[in-house]
A and B are shown apart, each in its own frame.
Chain A
Amino acid sequence: MKQNNLNYRVLLFLFLFPCFVFAQNTISGTVSTDAGEPVPFANVIEQGTSNGTTTDVDGNYSIDVGSLPATLVISSLGYETVERAVTSAGTVNITMAESAEALEEVIVTGLATSIKRSNSANAVASISAEKIAGTTPPPTLDGALYGKFTGVVINQNSGAPGGGLSVRLRGVTSIQGNTQPLYIVDGVYVDNSSIAAGLNAVSAAAAGGNSAALLQDNASNRIADLNPDDVERIEILKGASAAAIYGSRAAAGVVIITTKRGKSGETKFKFNQSVGWTEAVNLLGLRDYTESRVLDTFGESAAQDFVTAQSQGRIIDYENELYGEKGIHSITNFSMSGGNKDTKYYASVAYNNEDGIVRRTGYEKLSLRMNLNHKPKEWLDLSLSTNFVNSSSDRGFFNNDNSGTTIGVTLTGTTPWLQLFPDANGVYPDNPSGASNPLQTRDLVTNNEKVNRFIMGGSATIDIFKTDKQSLELILGGGLDVYGQQSRALFPKELQFQKPANGGLNGVSIQGDTQNKNYNLQGFLVHNYETNNDINFRTQLGATRLFFDQNTQLITATGLVASESNVDQAANTGVNQTRAKVEESGFFIQEEINFQDKFIATLGVRGDKSSNNGDPNEIFYFPKGSLAVNLNNFGFWNEDSKWDAFKIRAAYGEAGNIPPIGGKFTSYNSFSTDGLLGISLVGIKGSPDLAFERQKELEFGIDLGFFGGRISFEGTYYIKTVEDLILRSALEPSTGFTTEISNAGELENKGWELGLYTIPVDTDDFLWEFGVNFFKNTSEITQLDVAPFNIGAFGATLGTYRIEEGRSATQLVGIGPNPDESGFQVFGDAEPDFQMAFDNVLQWRNLELKFLWQWKNGGDNVNLTTLLSDLNGTTHDYDTIDLDPSGTLGNGPYRLSQLGSSAEVFIEDASYLRLRELGFYYSVPDKFLDGLLGGAIDGVRLGFSGTNLVNIFDYNSYDPEVSNFGGNTAFTGIEVTPFPSSKRFLFHVGVNF
């Protein structure tokens, strides 16, 4: 039967590839680990020749050497390389030790294959589990990326619990299309939507003509659902040169996440418990009120109230009242892994319960994972990942509004002599100087998001054909990402701004339900062919198919009955449904040629079609090509040289960014007029021939290594252009449309990325690892086929982004005394001058100290929190005099005097230096554990860690990291009274048994 099978397979593919067989001195045996597990696919090479083979799935090998004695060199991913002198033919079994630097060795770059780091022509960065969550558990998975990669800019949109981050790879890649990278977890295309809860019905943030309504709802993004503790490795493909193989969705980069898997052997249990608290990074404090200042700003009756309150000791810092809480955090992780030769598993449970710095906000998550690998036949390998997540976040009511109702906006007008606390019966007084009482809003408003999510990925690897010189694998895979998200926002009728007498809606209940289903199917053929003179060819052929389907229903009920929250218990009910459906299909072919590890060249092309394009069946091609030259493999210097690595590399690739859903349509929307249904245009004209944005990236780099891995350096320069930029350009409004979506521009990013990693000290007792990275990006709009336009903020009076040919894509302009020919003056740029990070790991015996500093230098924000506070006379630095060049006006009056004549004061430098992560751990020595539970405990670790413990910045608000319009925009850094950011302190205990 088995023989039959082999024949069958050989017959099937023999005609495709030539096959060579030689009869020589044969050495055979098994390669296994210390624990006795076989090491499959290890390379076995006769030293000094190009002769070699690989072990089969059971670790068996057989090699014919030219002469004896010979030296075999056995290497495999994740293991220390073994050299074994063999004097006679016969059986030689070899044991390999697991490598400490296993993760550095190989990087996943293709859809189906990986490549040795030393052979990669791209600067692909990867981090391991230890770097992801080893120092301190990151609040969300994307939060674990801060400072650990060059070229990766992460921005937190707000401090609300449950996430909300944007990740930008190598500059702005799209103006109005998707700017967020593609996330792939174990082969599954994972959705990262931010779904708005419909709060605009109350905040009216989009009134006054700002159409970005849904973006201002402070929604979280769905990558927050992944449990950082489950992740084994993260790789980031930053641009098209590396990501071309991912085609039309890869222009913003690809984040490849691999979760942990079991290893055969004894079952290992890991339990980690962290407990701690979170508190605001930076509170601004009260204005320095005096009677005369109050009289001056607020008038006579306020001055009297102030004096009375002062004499009664009733001056209340409402900022501290609202944002001064310490939120308790608890994170529990439990995992179990193990298996045997054929079946391996990893299972984990994680439970997070995190309270925010504002009362009644918080985040709760339960994550269950089961990863399974099974090898039913020696030629078949099955892999399955499943993840279930249940999360719930209470996000409060923040960000911009036009109704004076959000907590943040109201706080800017709340003076400390007001009495806003409830009376003995729990009745809150109306705020006499604003539309809402922020304490009442905090205590009565609910804004909750609940997610139930199931992510499942599976793959089958089939060895169709294998000889010592060539192999053919078929890899079939699929992934499914299904979730339901519920948003529930409740504004009870007793709220000040809901009372009809105050013009309120008498209670609002907004219920949103989203069903999301993504699935992807893929199949690849990988052929490896090794010639006698050590030239390897690897050919890949594959096809992918993607389906995305999202359906959101939002019900808004106003005029609630009694204290009901059901949407049918209301005077008025409105329903809104939004569906998004995309189908994509792609194929690729790639050839990789490796000449003796000296020259490694890759050529490939991907073709893609998408239902979002004007013509859904037009195929768009994305080519790639790269070359790496390993100079230290040329024998220029001898074996014991201090040079470990000297590689120069160049890579070129193209990738796409799909057009926005619905961008090709000019459609009606339905409305009603006093009970009569009607359909009206909404002012947006679609483009029937809309196509992908196309990114072209060229990257050069050099990698150096010295002193046995003690010093390594990586430097990269890239030029990345984005053609066919999808823009919403302004149309003459008399057409009936105000904007049109079209492919109408081109931009360019150029940048440097440098990384230096060293091990200055490495003794038996003491280890010090130090890494520093630096990166810088500049962008320019190189072509604009539409008129220059302002975007991403609240207009030129207050400072805005402006897209203009020949300028930076992220320039900030505004009205000002010295306008250029465009009529505006440039006051800044959101792009940082550079970013750096310093990573330290110090180990002394059983003590371990790790810390990561991150420095963003330059880059500007538009700070409107300060403006709103100034308008209300409440800013903490209102009376300080250090802005007015003439030295007469306080900062508040000075900024107000500029309102309407210059936007300069609203555009502020947003540099920062942060101690992003700090961890201090003590591993209990084995001798104390031996007696416990009969020695069943393998390790106990105790520790303390923190996130954002030190934050240094000049920016005049809560945090320079902010985005009123959420994450999926190139234009972050606009601040309107956000949820303040927080720092976190945690204590840990971890037990392995």
Chain B
Amino acid sequence: MKNYIYKISFFIALLVGTVSCNIEEIVDLNGPESTAFAESLTRGDLQDLIGGVLYSSRLRLGTYYDDCGVIGREYWRFSGSDPRFTTDLLGGQNSVLDNNTFYITGPWASRYRTVKNANLILGFFDSQDLSGQFTQQEVNAARGLLNTFIAYELLLNLNLTNEGGIRLDVSDENNLGPFVGRTAALEGIQSFLTEGASQLNNGGGSFPFSLTSGFAGFDTPGTFRQFNRAIAARVAAYQGNSGAVLSALNESFLSLNGDLNTGVYYTFSQDQTDIANPLFISAGGSSEAQARIVQPLFVSEAEAGDTRVAGKTIQLGETITLDDLTGDYIVNRYTSLTDNIPIIRNEELILLYAEANISGNSGEAVNALNIIRNSAGLGNYGGGTDSASLTDEMLNQRRYSLFAEGHRWIDMRRYNRLGDLPLDRPDDDVWSEFPIPLTENQ
């Protein structure tokens, strides 16, 4: 009998034992917490964190490019599962752009997420003594890269909201900075770039991490700085400051006689945790359910013999119609699920060089435009060399050279020429900007 009593006592003891002991704090089992690196950041951690910035910089890019491409009348986006590409974005009938719909909320939040990923890393640099892990130069180099990324991500959001502006200071999520208008935003973006460039200057010979193949040739602090300056040249062009464009180009990788495709790219793969190129739809897979149909004037208005048309589009066997829009060319700028998308490349830099020289050195502008024309199989420019004619020509070359790379809408807007974009249906509208997302509570 005593046996039983002992056994019972054992059970009670076991029970009391299990209950009285504390519940262990369970950490997140499925991923590192955002505070995990605040006190000890290793080289391996920094590599992963930088990899995260590269990853999130590509989130919802397809939506961003479709926003720019559709409103800029480069192409139409057909989607069987979402009619708003052909209603809201084209301003069909009474449709307007909504402030709580994927076309603005998706890319907007993704760009700011990348900014947050970058700001967290900058915070980790500030919160600890890193001398055991990194040299000061390596930290400088990383800071320079991150500030360049922050500037570029902010620029993409500003491209969507334009005069509506963006928040520049978002480093403290509990105390966000105010929205600033376009002019102040562009200045703010330039100062991130300037700060980044000077940090890269003091960044030594190499980064303490590796980058993707999209940065081939730009993967040291010195060469990455050329990329930083290329972005600065674009921003300066948006600011209308030709002098600043030229001085930034001077420190960039501009090469008038170089390969037009030299530059920095987003890269993609079909790895399960990666993103595939969001802008590729094959000819066979194009139907009214999903397609990017080239706006017909892009083909019909092209100069005879322009190889860029044939290179960037494919004619289908039959037309596809959706929502009163009919076309038979699809966008072929990107040719596979793993094709790269340019962030900035030499062809744009040459065009920026031409643009910045129009008022001060029209000969140099014509020279640069001819480089572009010749590369597309066209003869030299024969039109007037006054500012207006050269601007027309420059915008036209940008239209074909940078097709489906997110520029047409922004270019026409900064030259106040949105009214020149074609309306495909009588009640369509060309929007000048997206509303600020609802949840920004503006």
Contacts and interface: CB of A to CB of B under 8 A. Distances in A.
Interface string A668-680: 1111111111111
A587 interface: yes
Given A668-B32, A732-B441, A900-B93, 17 more contacts: A5-B1, A209-B105, A474-B8, A499-B284, A522-B15, A576-B272, A583-B26, A666-B33, A667-B33, A669-B30, A672-B269, A679-B48, A683-B109, A685-B173, A732-B439, A734-B170, A900-B83
Given A502-B284, A683-B109, A737 B22 contact: no
A735 B26 contact: no
Given A8-B1, A476-B11, A675-B271, A731 B34 contact: no
Given A404-B289, A732-B176, A732-B441, A581 B26 contact: yes
A736 B83 contact: no
Interface string B18-48: 1100111111111111110000000000011
Interface in A562-589: 571-585, 587
Given A574-B271, A668-B34, A679 B83 contact: no
B173 A737 contact: yes
Contact of A476 (B15, B176, B274): B15
B381 interface: no
B287 interface: yes
Interface string A96-125: 000000000000000000000000000000
B54 A667 contact: no
Contacts of B274: 671-675
A21 interface: no
A761 interface: no
Contacts of B440: 732-734
Interface in B72-127: 80-84, 87, 93-95, 100-102, 105-106, 108-109, 112-117, 119-120
A935 interface: no
Contact of A521 (B18, B47, B280): B18
B116 A736 contact: yes
B201 interface: no
Interface string A530-573: 00000000000001110000000000101100000000000111
A982 B257 CA distance: 71
Contacts of B52: 668, 671, 678-681
Contact of B18 (A402, A545, A559): A545
Given A404-B80, A610-B23, A678-B50, A503 B211 contact: no
B58 interface: yes
B87 A900 contact: yes
Most buried by B among A584, A680, A685: A680
Given A380-B4, A679-B32, A738-B109, A673 B23 contact: no
8 contacts: A404-B290, A580-B29, A672-B271, A676-B212, A681-B116, A681-B117, A733-B113, A735-B116
Contacts of A66: none
A195 to B, nearest CB: 15
A730 B100 CA distance: 12
Contacts of B16: 543
Q: What 10 A-B pairs come out closest when comparing CB atoms?
A: A574-B272, A736-B116, A678-B51, A503-B285, A680-B52, A733-B109, A735-B173, A674-B267, A678-B52, A579-B29
Nearest to A572: B270
A609 interface: yes
B24 A616 contact: yes
A520 to B, nearest CB: 11
Interface residues of A, number: 94
Contacts of B182: none
B12 interface: yes
Contact of B8 (A462, A609, A871): A462
B281 interface: yes
B370 interface: no
Contact of A435 (B51, B101, B270, B289): B289
A681 B112 contact: no
A932 interface: no
**Interface size bracket, B side:** 35 or more
Contact of A670 (B48, B211, B281): B48
B172 to A, nearest CB: 9
B428 to A, nearest CB: 14
Interface string B412-442: 0000000000000000000000000101110
Contacts of B19: 543-545, 585, 587
B198 interface: no
B136 interface: no
Given A209-B106, A573-B272, A737 B81 contact: no
Given A681-B116, A738-B439, A733 B105 contact: yes
A638 interface: no
A377 B275 CA distance: 67
B105 A666 contact: no
Interface in A600-619: 609-611, 616-617
B268 interface: yes
Contacts of A871: 80, 83
B33 to A, nearest CB: 5
A16 interface: no
B389 interface: no
A674 B54 CA distance: 10
Interface in B255-289: 267-275, 280-282, 284-285, 287, 289
B56 interface: yes
A213 B193 CA distance: 38
A674 B84 CA distance: 31
A424 interface: no
A8 B5 contact: yes
B270 A559 contact: yes
B56 A680 contact: yes
B387 interface: no
A732 B23 CA distance: 35
B214 interface: yes
A584 B212 contact: no
Interface string A749-770: 0000000000000000000000
A900 B94 CA distance: 9
Contacts of A579: 29-30
Interface string B202-228: 000000001111100000000000000
A681 B37 CA distance: 13
B320 to A, nearest CB: 12
Contacts of A2: 1
Contacts of A573: 272
A575 B272 CA distance: 7
Contacts of B53: 678, 680
A736 B119 contact: yes
A825 B114 CA distance: 36
A10 interface: no
B312 interface: no
A47 B267 CA distance: 89
A734 B22 CA distance: 39
Contacts of A575: 272
Contact of B51 (A581, A673, A795): A673
A735 B170 contact: yes
Contact of B285 (A401, A502, A581, A795): A502
Interface in A330-386: 377, 380
Nearest to B437: A733
B276 to A, nearest CB: 9
Contacts of A667: 28, 30-34
B30 A681 contact: no
Contacts of B31: 667-670, 679
Contacts of B270: 505, 558-559, 571-572
A741 to B, nearest CB: 13
Nearest to B106: A209
A27 to B, nearest CB: 30
A2 B1 CA distance: 8
A899 interface: yes
B378 interface: no
Given A543-B19, A616-B24, A674 B117 contact: no
